[in-house]
Amino acid sequence: MMKKNAFGYKHEKGNANIPLKNFVRCSECNTPFTGYIVKNKNLYYYKCNRIGCRCNRSANSMHSLFSDLLKEYQFNRIYFAPLKEQFLHICEYLNESEKQQRVSTELNLRELNAKLDKLEERFALGEIDRLIFDKVGQKLRQEIASLKDAFKGCISELSNPTSLIDHSLEIISNLSNFWVSGDYHHKRKLQEVLFPGGISIGKSTIIELLK
């Protein structure tokens, strides 16, 4: 009897029809919303995942509310020129800082590798014993590995920042349509970037941002 689906709906994961699943929380009890489809109506719904809460909303109405919320955060195109100029300055600054960081990291790596080579040479000549060689050698190798990881994590220099900035400006000036037309993963990424804490909604139509 427990395996039977008395309500006629099924749960789905990664479904573009319910991108707000687990992102939206119930304002009544702070429980994440789950998503489901009512098969006989072929309509999707969101509901609070807490038993007995009874907070239930159609996916269409929820998406409409979220789309309207995104419109409040869209950037006005009249400010494109000064914002683009500022973004270009930021890219230039980041690229220059990245170059300096790479040079500094490479210099430190060369110094540490030289120390390790010297240590191995002294050990081979019998100038230091195994205990000192192992202790100092392990420390140097750890520092080298750490610097290599930091070097890999360096941000690559942007070859065409103008193109990236133009694309970004188009997105932030049209957040609502960008979200509506995106697939499941694009929707989720945009939601999490704009509202990392998620949002809450209850039986009323009031949407609150969560921290």
What is the per-residue pLDDT for 6? Answer: 44
Contact present, 120 and 137 (Cβ < 8 Å):
yes
Cα dihedral 164, 169, 171, 172, rounded to 10, equals: 140
Q: Helices in the chain by DSSP H: which ranges?
A: 59-71, 80-124, 130-152, 161-172, 175-181, 184-194
- What are the two backbone dihedrals, phi and then psi, of residue 14, each rounded to the nearest 5 degrees? 60, 35
Distance CA 144, CA 181 (A): 46
Give me the pLDDT at residue 68, please: 92
Amino acid letter, residue 161 = P
The structural domains of the chain, with segments of one domain joined by +, span: 9-74+178-209, 77-162
Intervals of the chain under pLDDT 50: 1-3, 5-12
pTM score, whole prediction: 0.62
Q: What per-residue confidence (pLDDT) applies to 2?
A: 39
